[in-house]
Amino acid sequence: MTHVVVLGAYGSAGVAVADELAGEPGVELTLFDGGDPGGGLCILRGCMPSKEVLSAAAHRYGVRHDDRLAGTPPTVDLERVVERKNEQTSNFAAHRRAAVRDIADREGVAFHRTDARLVDDHTVRADGREFEADYVVVATGSVPSVPDLPGIDDVEPLTSADVLDATSLPDSGVVMGFGYVGIELVPYLAEAGVDLTVVEHDPRPLEAAPPAFGDELLEIYREEFGVEVLTETRERRVEPTEEGVRLHVECDGRQRAVEAERLFAFTGRRPNLDGLGLENTALDPGEGWVEPTMQARDDERTFVVGDANGIEPILHVAKEQGFRAADNVLAHRDGRAPLPYENVTHRVMFAALGVYPFARVGHTAASAREAGYDPIEVGRRASDDGVFATKAVPRGLARLVVARDGTVLGYQGLHYHADVMAKTMQVAVEGGTDVRELPDRAYHPTTPEILDGLFRAASRELREA
């Protein structure tokens, strides 16, 4: 009998591992999770609650930006927003807990409603007992990462978790962090009435996208939400003031101080490994510590999946990593070579309250060249298709990347409904579809017309090449 221990069974990665291995012949499964109330990061503190609060602000944004509607825009009722968010996430979390209970009811599975700590490479301790494992799966998720900035301990920065629970907000704020967390939460705060200044280290956000997308996003946030974004700027120190906080920054060698009522730290997340007992093992969590097979570099019988490995903190990636880890546990047990997890990039960022989401599927032109292709890239703006103007969402752009043989390699979109179109483009990319075989006639007038234009443009370039 092979004994597998899963640390973090409520999360998306952990439950995927457990579901795959539960009932597997010759496998004994022990699950640990002391989360309260339990349900996983995405459900309780990530994508589910954040989209709930964004949707409320998106309605206000729509009213505020449609000149066909008269009257004073409504305010965001923070108490009701949080109340409904809590209702929704409570239901989702209960469903996840029920799924784990169902797994635990299977033969050979035990679930312990507590956290466990490693005391050596393959032994965990919980509630005064020790459990010897043949394989350990670490799926403990992530926690907000707050930078070690001089003075930060004196100002109590607000993180994404604080914002999701906030029934009152300051009149002004300065934001550190303009990655996926900041890009999603900044417009929510703006619609809720917070006057914001954002510090961005790079010339533009969306570093994994072509520069035009980051430039477009900056314009949207500055013009549509009234947010001041300081680009190519670095935080140096922060201090409390009688009115709130003062953040000292540097830009182009010049010093500047930004004052606000509160400091927001949207500086990403880090693997939740504290208190796990890794110091009692051979594991050294650092860059490259987890292999593509999801096995720890320092111990082939330890698997690290989801946010805990720090590779790509995205829900569907966590699930897929969990499935791969479960398969590879069995492969290693049976003497077969474990397979790597290979991910075709498929991500959505709910920028501008999800009104102008950013989606990337597969390659950009730059990453395609790095992969050895000589790609064709075509682009289109939302304003090229009147349907976006009729829906009062005229901004944004999209690009399509294809190989010289017509194979669809990638799509990037920053426009209304880009999140929905990501699935269509995932099918095209992962299916290796020839762009010339894709229908270029959407039901008129609907927003996929932007895809039709891209398909036609790419096909035309192929014919002319």
Please state the pTM of the whole predicted model.
Answer: 0.94
Q: What percent of the chain has pLDDT over 70?
A: 100
Q: In what order do the strands lie in the sheet with 27-32?
A: 109-112, 27-32, 2-7, 135-138, 299-304, 295-296
pLDDT tens for 255-304 read 999 999 999 999 989 999 999 999 999 999 999 999 999 999 999 999 99
pLDDT higher than threshold 90 for residue 375: yes
Q: What confidence score (pLDDT) does residue 39 get?
A: 86
Separation of alpha carbons 330 and 341, rounded Å: 15
pLDDT (average), residues 305-310 = 96
Q: What confidence score (pLDDT) does residue 40 get?
A: 83
pLDDT tens for 399-413 read 999 999 999 999 999
pLDDT higher than threshold 90 for residue 102: yes
pLDDT tens for 315-366 read 889 999 999 999 999 999 999 999 999 988 899 999 999 999 999 999 999 9
Q: What percent of the chain has pLDDT over 90?
A: 91
pLDDT tens for 386-396 read 999 999 999 99
Separation of alpha carbons 297 and 285, rounded Å: 9
Cis peptide before 445 (omega within 30 of 0): yes
Separation of alpha carbons 413 and 396, rounded Å: 8
pLDDT band (50, 70, 90) for residue 312:
confident
Half-sphere exposure of 110 (CA within 13 A, CB side): 8
Q: What confidence score (pLDDT) does residue 402 get?
A: 98
pLDDT tens for 215-235 read 999 999 999 999 999 999 999
Separation of alpha carbons 10 and 30, rounded Å: 13
Tell me, letter by letter, the H, E, C secondary structure of 382-419. Answer: HHHCHHHHHCCCCCEEEEEEECCCCEEEEEEEEECCHH
Q: What confidence score (pLDDT) does residue 113 get?
A: 95
Q: What confidence score (pLDDT) does residue 465 get?
A: 81
Domains of the chain: residue spans and CATH: 2-144+270-333 (3.50.50.60), 152-267 (3.50.50.60), 356-464 (3.30.390.30)
Per-residue buried b or exposed e for 326-339, using 16+ beta carbons within 10 Å of the residue's own CB:
bbbbbebbeeeebe
pLDDT tens for 23-53 read 899 999 999 999 888 888 888 888 889 999 9
Q: What confidence score (pLDDT) does residue 378 get?
A: 98
Q: State the Cα torsion 224-228-232-238 to the nearest 10°.
A: -140
Half-sphere exposure of 375 (CA within 13 A, CB side): 24
Q: What average pLDDT does the structure give for the chain?
A: 95
Q: What confidence score (pLDDT) does residue 158 get?
A: 97
pLDDT higher than threshold 90 for residue 442: no
Separation of alpha carbons 378 and 402, rounded Å: 9
Q: What confidence score (pLDDT) does residue 424 get?
A: 96
Q: What confidence score (pLDDT) does residue 36 get?
A: 87
Separation of alpha carbons 161 and 42, rounded Å: 12
Closest CA to 425 of 397, 391, 452: 452
**Whether the Cβ atoms of residue 346 and residue 361 lie closer than 8 Å to each other:** yes
Q: What confidence score (pLDDT) does residue 437 get?
A: 97
For residue 153, the tally of other CB atoms under 10 A from its CB is 11
Q: What confidence score (pLDDT) does residue 343 get?
A: 87
Q: What confidence score (pLDDT) does residue 308 get?
A: 96
pLDDT band (50, 70, 90) for residue 253:
confident
**Whether the Cβ atoms of residue 400 and residue 408 lie closer than 8 Å to each other:** yes
**Whether the Cβ atoms of residue 295 and residue 302 lie closer than 8 Å to each other:** yes
